[in-house]
Amino acid sequence: MTNKLVYFVGNWKMFGDLKSIKVIKSVDKFYKKFSKGNKKNKLVFCVPYTLINFFTRSLKSRHISIGGQNCHHDSNYGPFTGSVNASMLKNSGAKYVILGHSEKRAEGDTNQIIKKKIKSALEKKLKVIFCIGETSRDNKNKKTFLVLKKQIRDSIDKKFDIKKIIIAYEPIWSIGTGKVPKIDELQKTFKFIKKYLKIHYKPKSVPSILYGGSVNEKNISMFSKIYDINGFLIGGSSQSSKKFIDIIRNYYK
């Protein structure tokens, strides 16, 4: 087993209330012991806005960070009913923010809007988890690489501090469906994304790239075989401490 840094990021979507802190506390308790075996991980829970401040105050964990799931593209206050900006997220205790998730793209986020959101989040010193991914039609038509390249190029400006951006590859057809790509497809896709980032942005070190889409405690051992995967964005299975813990455990089995 390698000693590379591996992210386990939970995306709670529109789930959870104040009592749900117990899920994260159980993970924290487990990980305190588990990490003594020299594991190098970052654990993040991206939760609804309503829980961020309460969770960061009650958690005080060395191992777990809290993040948001979106932010408005304007970093100033403004007349945007229902919105929260990067500065408000930061102020509430978030360290990370998911941007470009396909569920937000479906509600109207374009590559250009996402680019403004990334800029604003980076300015406010949030780490960005930037989601990209193709539809099943793109996949069938062999357009995956084209789509991913455009999503990256149109949303990550060359001037951005790419060190602060984590990419999450989430095929849309895999989110919440139980379907996952085949190992060899994933290997090729991760190689492609890494190569593209290297060539286009010439970073000192290539950003971490996570896989997301129906990750669970059973299929995690298959993903652990792919060296280029630097971690996971986990939706459904991150709402249960047992499943989340089993995912981490089984990754290292």
What's the N-to-C CA distance of the chain in angstroms?
9
The minimum distance between CB 105 and ligand PGA, in angstroms, equals: 11
Measured from the CB atom, the residue of 53 and 219 that comes closer to ligand PGA is 219
The minimum distance between CB 214 and ligand PGA, in angstroms, equals: 4
> Treating both helix axes as pointing N-terminal to C-terminal, what angle do 241-251 and 21-34 enclose, rounded to 10 degrees?
30
What tokens does 118 get? 């990334």
The one catalytic residue in 103, 134, 170, 217 is: 170
Contact 62, 29 (CB under 8 A): no
Measured from the CB atom, the residue of 100 and 207 that comes closer to ligand PGA is 100
Measured from the CB atom, the residue of 118 and 131 that comes closer to ligand PGA is 131
Cβ neighbors of 69 (< 8 A, separation 6 or more) are 11, 12, 13, 46, 47, 48, 97, 98, 101
Contact 237, 45 (CB under 8 A): no
The minimum distance between CB 87 and ligand PGA, in angstroms, equals: 24
The minimum distance between CB 189 and ligand PGA, in angstroms, equals: 16
Which residue number has the CB closest to ligand PGA? 235
The minimum distance between CB 73 and ligand PGA, in angstroms, equals: 21
- Residue tagged 């652990």 (tokens): 224
User: Which parts of this chain interact with ligand PGA (CB under 6 A)?
Assistant: 11, 170, 175-176, 212-215, 233-236
Give CA–CA dist 253/210, Å, rounded: 19
The one catalytic residue in 72, 101, 103, 217 is: 101
Active site residue 101: yes
Measured from the CB atom, the residue of 133 and 207 that comes closer to ligand PGA is 133
Measured from the CB atom, the residue of 161 and 185 that comes closer to ligand PGA is 185
> Could you give the residue ranges of the DSSP H alpha helices within 81-182?
86-91, 102-105, 111-123, 136-140, 144-155
Active site residues: 101, 170
